[in-house]
Amino acid sequence: MSSSSSSELEMEIFQYIDGHQSDFIKDLKEWVAVQSDSVQPDLRKEVIRMMVLVADRLAALGATVNSVNLGSHQLPNGQDLPLPPVILGELGRDPQNPTVCFYGHVDVQPAKKEDGWKTDPYTLTEINGNLYGRGATDNKGPVLAWINAVETFRALKLVVNFKFVIEGMEEAGSLGLEKLLEEENQCFFSDVDYIVISDNVWLSNKKPALTYGSRGNACFFVEVECGGKDLHSGTFGGIIHEPLTDLIALLDSLVDPTGHIQIPGIYDSVAALTEEERKLYESIEFDLEEHKKNSGVKKFLYGTKEEILLHLWHYPSLSIHGIEGAFHEPGIKTVIPSKVIGKFSIRQVPHMDLSVVKQQVVEHLEGVFSRRNSPNKLKVSMPLGAKPWLADVNDPLYKAARRAIKKVFGEDPDFIRDGSTVPVARMFQTITRKSVIMFPIGAADDGEHSQNEKISRHNYIEGTKVFASFFLEISKLHRHLHETSNMEIKN
Ligand SMILES: C[C@H](N)C(=O)N[C@@H](Cc1c[nH]cn1)C(=O)O
Ligand SMILES: [Zn+2]
Ligand SMILES: [Zn+2]
């Protein structure tokens, strides 16, 4: 395609996207309305219903769709729960075109209006140019932006062959996905050239970014149990070892007030900080005050941008998420719970080994517990473990995405890492050995996992354009790379 016909096509595509804004927002509203929360077992049927909507949407695009059944999984209480299917889709098979596989997820984190949402989390609501709703940015909005961009091309001209992997268990650790990728490696993925994930956000509220690394996550349950039933605190308080007191001591032993993890050995294999990496953190544009404002907290653990980035990207962190079995409703209940489960996770970084981390956590907790001389029962498990990911920014994928961003947003992107985890990034890299990029369209103030999650109308629509522009750029670059390698072979 000549460069003039390519830019004419791009103009037409951008016009098409601008002209279809309300349809695109209507689709997002329909998707956000589904309570596809993969964390709460009661809502699993909603996740499955969501997967049907995705399959229908891809079929309407003209894609071949395969809903792959992953069977079921067992909850800690022994209950069997069906896993939602993974949708594998395919559109276009022109051998002249590169094949780009897009990964996204359509399950969401839990959300209730009472948690402090200003609007109903499952009713997409536009206020001052922002589209509020659970999943708006994580990850239904970006998945739809990609689909919108594909639809635009299908309506005009296909320059890329598309593949889709859409799952419904990402927020619960992508259960069953790794096995499917292994099974499909020689089939579905055999002709894939590039893999794109758009499941994180920029470092800034306004400046676009491309992500080349993310942390992993090791999630733990620590269970303490006394007898088989809850007890009256007046009748038994003061004469027994209370499970919640044990648990609080255990949780308190994990991290000190400076944020330093107290588990012996945990920092041993963290990759050494190179001079190059240190310089990168110094040179990156990052507004600490904006980040603080986005979080709503008054003070961070560290005072400089370099320290903050190091502790988000280079070092592991430990967060405590909750306690199952402890009384948490309003009011007073004078009970001693008989069994409590503490939940925490460690975001790990390159070179940390999941099985070593697990062993260090278990040994540490058993040691603290044994020093308490408690007769209670302790159980530590790691229900989930996702590995960190790091990519090569010299890959053509990054070049194409950078050009598309420059065209649509008028500026060069930040090259960033992400403190959160997309378990599939590392799986794709290890299993398929294809190049992977994280290409976010959401902004730093989108509030992923938080109350009042949103994506701005601007980011949703310009994000659709940036994906469309990326299709043109990757198709040009891919052809160029092939022509040059063919010439080298002939010479
Ligand atoms: C970055 C992505 N949108 C996301 O939110 N991922 C989750 C995945 C996860 C990790 N452990 C359990 N789930 C996250 O980083 O929390
Ligand atoms: Zn996500
Ligand atoms: Zn998420």
Strands 335-336 and 377-386: unpaired
Please tell me the predicted confidence (pLDDT) of residue 157: 79
Q: Is the CB of residue 413 less than 8 Å from the CB of residue 453? A: no
When computed from its CA atoms, the radius of gyration of the chain, rounded to whole angstroms, is 24
Q: Tell me, what's the ipTM?
A: 0.98
- What is the DSSP pairing of strand 161-167 with strand 99-105? parallel
Query: How far is residue 181's CA from residue 77's CA, in Å, rounded to a whole number?
Result: 28
364 annotated to a ligand binding site: no
Tell me the C-alpha distance between 230 and 338, whole Å. Answer: 5
Strands (E), 280-353: 317-324, 335-336, 339-347
pLDDT of residue 104: 98
pLDDT at 449: 97
Dist. CA 181 → ligand 2 center (Å) = 18
Q: Which of 157, 218, 481, 188 is nearest to 344 (CA)?
A: 218
Phi/psi of residue 263, nearest 5 degrees: -80, 120
Q: Tokens for 196? A: 């794109």
Are 254 and 318 in contact, with CB atoms under 8 Å apart?
yes
Structure tokens at 108: 């969401």
Please state, in angstroms and as integers, the Cα–Cα distance from residue 61 to each residue in 10, 153, 314, following that order: 20, 10, 41
- Name the token pair of 126: 């536009």
Give the distance between the most distant pair of CA atoms in the chain. 90
Question: Using an 8 Å Cβ cutoff, are 449 and 109 in contact?
Answer: yes
Q: Is the CB of 199 under 6 A from ligand 1?
A: yes
Cis peptide before 130 (omega within 30 of 0): no
200 lines ligand 1 (CB under 6 A): yes
pLDDT tens track for 272-296: 999 988 998 888 989 999 999 999 9
The pLDDT of residue 6: 72
State mean pLDDT over 76-102. 94
Give the rounded percent of residues in the chain with a pLDDT score beyond 90.
91
As given in the structure block, the two tokens for residue 209 are 């970014």
Please state, in angstroms and rounded to a whole number, the distance separating the CA atoms of residues 17 and 326: 50
Distance separating alpha carbons of residues 216 and 347, to the nearest angstrom = 5
pLDDT tens digits along 141-172: 999 999 999 999 887 778 899 999 999 999 99
The answer, yes or no, to whether any atom of ligand 1 lies below 6 A from the CB of 421, is yes
Q: Which of 107, 167, 223, 418 is catalytic?
A: 107
The answer to whether the CB of 173 is under 6 A from ligand 1 is yes
What would the pLDDT profile of 255-268 be if each residue is shown by its tens digit? 999 999 999 999 99
Q: Which residues surround ligand 2, an ion (CB under 5 A)?
A: 138-139, 199
| Structural domain boundaries in the chain | 3-214+389-490, 217-270+315-386
Across the chain, mean pLDDT equals 95
Q: Which class would CATH give 217-270+315-386? A: alpha beta
Q: Which ligand is nearest to the CA of 219?
A: 1
| Rounded mean pLDDT, 446-472 | 98
pLDDT tens digit string along 49-59?
Answer: 999 999 999 99
353 in a labelled binding site: no
Dig out the tokens for 181 from the structure.
């990728």
> Is the CB of residue 365 less than 8 Å from the CB of residue 371?
no
**Residue 191 confidence (pLDDT):** 96
| Beta bridge mates, 103 | 165, 197
> How many helices (DSSP H) and strands (DSSP E) are in the chain?
14, 20
Average pLDDT over residues 427-446: 97
Does 170 qualify as catalytic in the annotation? yes
In whole angstroms, give the CA distance from residue 272 to residue 290.
29
β-pairing verdict for 435-438 and 125-127: unpaired
User: Residue 8's pLDDT is what?
Assistant: 85
Tell me the residue ranges of DSSP E strands in 63-158. Answer: 64-68, 72-74, 80-82, 86-91, 99-105, 125-127, 130-132
Q: Determine whether the shortest distance from the Cβ of 453 to ligand 1 is under 6 A.
A: no
In sign, the C-alpha dihedral spanning 440, 445, 446, 449 is: positive
Mean pLDDT of the 17-41 span = 97
Ligand nearest to the CA of 453: 3
Residue 330 backbone class (left: φ over 0; alpha: ψ -120 to 50; beta: rest): beta
Measured CA to CA, the distance from residue 324 to residue 338 in angstroms comes to 11
Question: What is the position in ligand 1's atom list of the atom closest to the CA of 139?
Answer: 3
3-class SS of residue 220: strand
The yes-or-no verdict on residue 378 having pLDDT over 90 is yes
Among the four given CATH numbers 3.40.50.2300, 3.40.630.10, 3.90.230.10, 3.20.20.60, the one describing domain 3-214+389-490: 3.40.630.10
Tell me which of 10, 151, 170, 473 is the catalytic residue: 170
Query: Quick one: pLDDT at residue 482?
Result: 76
User: In this predicted structure, which of 222-226, 237-241, 474-478 has the lowest mean pLDDT?
Assistant: 474-478
Residue nearest (by alpha carbon) to ligand 1 atom 12: 173
- 471 close to 160: Cβ distance less than 8 angstroms: yes
Q: What is the DSSP string of 6-58?
A: HHHHHHHHHHHHHHTHHHHHHHHHHHHTS--BSSSGGGHHHHHHHHHHHHHHH
The whole-number pLDDT of residue 154 equals 84
Nearest ligand by distance to the CA of 386: 1
Structural contact between residues 186 and 194, judged by C-beta atoms closer than 8 angstroms: no
Query: Please, which residues bridge with residue 455 across strands?
Result: 131
418 labeled part of a ligand binding site = no
- Cα 15 to Cα 10, 19, 129, 351, 451: the distances in Å are 9, 6, 20, 47, 34
217 lines ligand 1 (CB under 6 A): yes
Task: Read off the DSSP letter of residue 364.
Answer: H
Of 177, 318, 417, 421, which is best to mutate to test ligand 1, by the most ligand atoms within 8 angstroms of its C-beta? Answer: 421
State yes or no: 138 annotated in a binding site: yes
User: For residue 2, what pLDDT is reported?
Assistant: 57
Cα gap 123→131, rounded to integer Å: 10
Alpha carbons 288 and 286: distance in angstroms, whole number:
6
What digits encode the pLDDT tens for the residues 297-354?
999 999 999 999 999 999 999 999 999 999 999 999 999 999 999 999 999 999 999 9
Least Cα distance to 176 among 105, 71, 101 occurs for 71
3-state secondary structure of 263: coil
Q: How far is the CA of 420 from the centre of ligand 1 (A)?
A: 6
Ligand 1 pocket test, pick from 170, 317, 318, 343 with the greatest ligand atom count within 8 Å of Cβ, gives 170
Q: Is 276 a catalytic residue?
A: no
Taking the C-alpha atoms of residue 318 and residue 262, their distance in angstroms, rounded to an integer, is 10
Known binding residue 105? Answer is yes
Confidence check: pLDDT of 435 > 70: yes
Nearest 5°: CA angle at 301, between 300 and 307?
Answer: 95
Task: Tell me the percentage of the chain whose pLDDT exceeds 70.
Answer: 98
Q: Which residue has the higher pLDDT, 77 or 397?
A: 397
Does residue 456 have a pLDDT over 90?
A: yes
- Report helix, strand or coil for 393: coil
At 42 the pLDDT is 96
pLDDT score for 76: 77
Cβ–ligand 1 distance for 459 under 6 Å, the answer no
- pLDDT of 491 above 70: no
Q: Would you say the CATH fold of 217-270+315-386 matches that of 3-214+389-490?
A: no
